[in-house]
C-alpha cells in the first residue's frame, strides 16, 4: 500500500509553512489535530530551513524554500500533513552521538570555535539548536510513524549522513539518520532496519557507525570513492564480523547517468529484499544530478522518482509501508527541487 492516497489533512503547522511562502497561493486550512493513518508528514518549517551555513556556503539556508516552491507548484502541499519540528533533547541525540561530542557542539559558540571539523563544517550562529532541530523533526516523524499517525515522512533538511558518533564532517553536525536508527532499536524495539542512500557521496557516518551491526541493512550508490569526498565506500566494504555481507556499496564512475544507476538499483533492491527489513530509512541526496557544483554524476530526476517508487513498494511488502525520506545533499537548487518533489510525489501515491 502506498502512502496517503486518501483524506487530505492539514495541520496548524501548515499555517506557518504557507506564511513562509507569501507569494504563493494560500489554500484553505482544514481542521487541526486530525491525522490519517495513511498520510505523509512533510517536515519543512522555518526552523528547519535555518540549518545552513553563511557566506555563500553550498549548504545555504535557501534550499528548503526552493524545494517548497516546487512542492506548491505541483499541488503536493494539499496532500501532506505538515507538523512542526522540535528541538531534540540531549539524551535523544546521545542515543547515537557521544556525550563528549554533543557537549562540544553545545559549547562551540561560547568557546569561539570556528570549525567543528577540519574545514567543511563551520560553527554558525545557533549551531547546536539548529542541528538539534533537524534531529528533533526526524524523531517527531518517527514517533508518528510508529504510533500509526502516518506511514511516511519526508524531511528535505536532514539526512546528514557524514557526521560520525564523535565528530562533525561534510556539512553535517548531528547525524539525524543515526539517531533515528538507534531510536528504532532502543525505544521501539525494531532491529532490522534498511538504510538506503542515493546521495552522490558515500554515507560514511552511518556506514562506519554500523559496520559491524548485522541488523543494519545498508545499501549506498555513490560516485567512485577515488574521485570524491569522503573517499570511502569501496565495493569491498561489505560489513565486518557477523555483519559481513549486510552492507552493499556501489561505486559509479564520474559522468555516469541514469543508464548506470538503473542496473545498480536492481542490485540494491535484491540486497534489501534478501533481509526483509522492518523499516526503511531513505537518504535521497540530489547531488548526483547533472549540474551539481560539488560532484560529477549526471542523473536526471527520473533516478529519484524510480528509487522512491521502489522503496515505497519494498516498504509496503516488508515494513507495513514505513518509510522515512531525508533530503541529504544537493547544491543545485533547480535539481534538488525537482528530485525531492519527485520523491514526495511517490510517497503520496505516484503524483
Ligand atoms: Zn552528498
Q: How far is the CA of 6 from the centre of ligand 1 (A)?
A: 34
Q: Break the chain into its structural domains and give their ranges.
A: 40-347
Q: How far is the CA of 241 from the centre of ligand 1 (A)?
A: 28
338, containing H or E segment:
helix 333-347
Q: How far is the CA of 119 from the centre of ligand 1 (A)?
A: 16
Q: How far is the CA of 220 from the centre of ligand 1 (A)?
A: 12
Q: How far is the CA of 195 from the centre of ligand 1 (A)?
A: 15
Q: How far is the CA of 298 from the centre of ligand 1 (A)?
A: 14
The CA–CA distances, whole Å, from 186 to 31, 150, 180, 215, 351 equal 34, 21, 10, 13, 35
Distance CA 143, CA 146 (A): 5
**What φ, ψ does residue 61 adopt, rounded to 5°?**
-90, 10
Q: How far is the CA of 232 from the centre of ligand 1 (A)?
A: 13
Q: pLDDT tens-digit profile of 227-276?
A: 999 999 999 999 999 999 999 999 999 999 999 999 999 999 999 999 99
**Ligand 1 ion local residues (Cβ < 5 A):** 199, 201, 285, 287, 329
Query: Mean pLDDT for each consecutive 10-residue tract of the chain (351 residues)?
Result: 36 44 36 55 96 87 96 96 97 98 97 91 95 98 96 98 97 98 98 98 98 98 98 98 98 98 98 98 98 98 97 97 98 98 93 52
In the CATH scheme, what architecture does the domain 40-347 have? Answer: 3-Layer(aba) Sandwich (3.40)
Q: pLDDT tens-digit profile of 18-33?
A: 444 433 333 333 333 4
The pTM of this model reads 0.90
Q: How far is the CA of 283 from the centre of ligand 1 (A)?
A: 10
Amino acid at each position: 500500500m502506498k502512502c496517503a492516497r486518501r483524506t487530505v489533512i492539514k495541520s496548524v503547522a501548515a499555517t506557518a509553512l504557507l506564511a513562509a511562502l507569501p507569494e504563493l497561493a494560500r489554500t484553505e486550512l482544514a481542521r487541526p489535530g486530525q491525522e490519517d493513518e495513511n498520510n505523509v508528514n512533510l517536515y519543512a518549517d522555518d526552523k528547519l530551513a535555518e540549518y545552513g551555513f553563511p557566506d555563500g556556503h553550498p549548504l545555504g539556508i535557501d534550499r528548503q524554500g526552493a524545494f517548497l516552491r516546487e512542492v506548491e507548484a505541483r499541488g503536493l502541499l494539499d496532500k501532506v500533513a505538515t507538523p512542526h519540528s522540535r528541538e531534540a533533547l540531549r539524551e535523544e541525540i546521545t542515543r547515537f552521538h557521544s556525550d563528549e561530542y554533543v557537549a562540544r557542539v553545545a559549547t562551540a559558540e561560547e568557546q569561539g570555535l570556528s570549525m567543528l571539523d577540519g574545514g567543511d563544517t563551520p560553527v554558525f550562529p545557533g549551531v547546536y539548536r539548529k542541528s538539534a532541530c533537524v534531529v528533533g523533526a526526524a524523531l517527531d516523524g518517527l514517533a508518528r510513524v510508529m504510533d500509526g499517525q502516518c506511514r511516511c515522512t519526508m524531511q528535505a533538511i536532514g539526512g546528514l549522513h557524514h557526521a560520525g558518533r564523535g565528530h562533525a564532517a561534510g556539512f553535517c553536525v548531528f547525524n539525524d539518520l543515526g539517531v533515528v536508527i538507534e531510536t528504532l532499536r532502543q525505544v521501539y524495539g525494531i532491529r532490522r532496519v534498511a538504510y538506503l542512500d542515493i546521495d552522490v557521496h558515500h554515507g560514511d557516518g552511518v556506514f562506519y557507525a554500523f559496520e559491524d551491526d548485522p541488523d543494519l541493512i545498508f545499501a549506498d550508490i555513490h560516485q567512485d570513492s577515488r574521485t570524491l569526498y569522503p573517499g570511502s565506500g569501496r565495493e569491498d566494504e561489505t560489513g565486518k564480523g557477523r555483519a559481513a555481507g549486510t552492507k552493499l556499496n556501489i561505486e559509479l564512475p564520474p559522468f555516469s547517468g541514469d543508464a548506470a544507476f538503473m542496473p545498480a538499483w536492481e542490485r540494491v533492491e535484491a540486497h534489501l529484499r534478501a533481509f526483509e527489513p522492518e523499516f526503511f530509512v531513505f537518504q535521497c541526496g540530489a547531488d548526483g544530478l547533472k549540474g551539481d557544483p560539488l560532484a560529477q554524476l549526471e542523473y536526471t530526476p527520473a533516478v529519484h522518482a524510480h528509487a522512491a517508487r521502489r522503496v515505497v513498494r519494498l516498504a509496503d511488502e516488508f515494513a507495513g509501508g514505513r518509510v522515512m525520506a531525508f533530503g541529504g545533499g544537493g547544491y543545485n537548487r533547480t535539481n534538488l527541487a525537482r528530485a525531492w518533489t519527485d520523491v514526495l510525489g511517490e510517497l503520496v501515491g505516484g503524483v
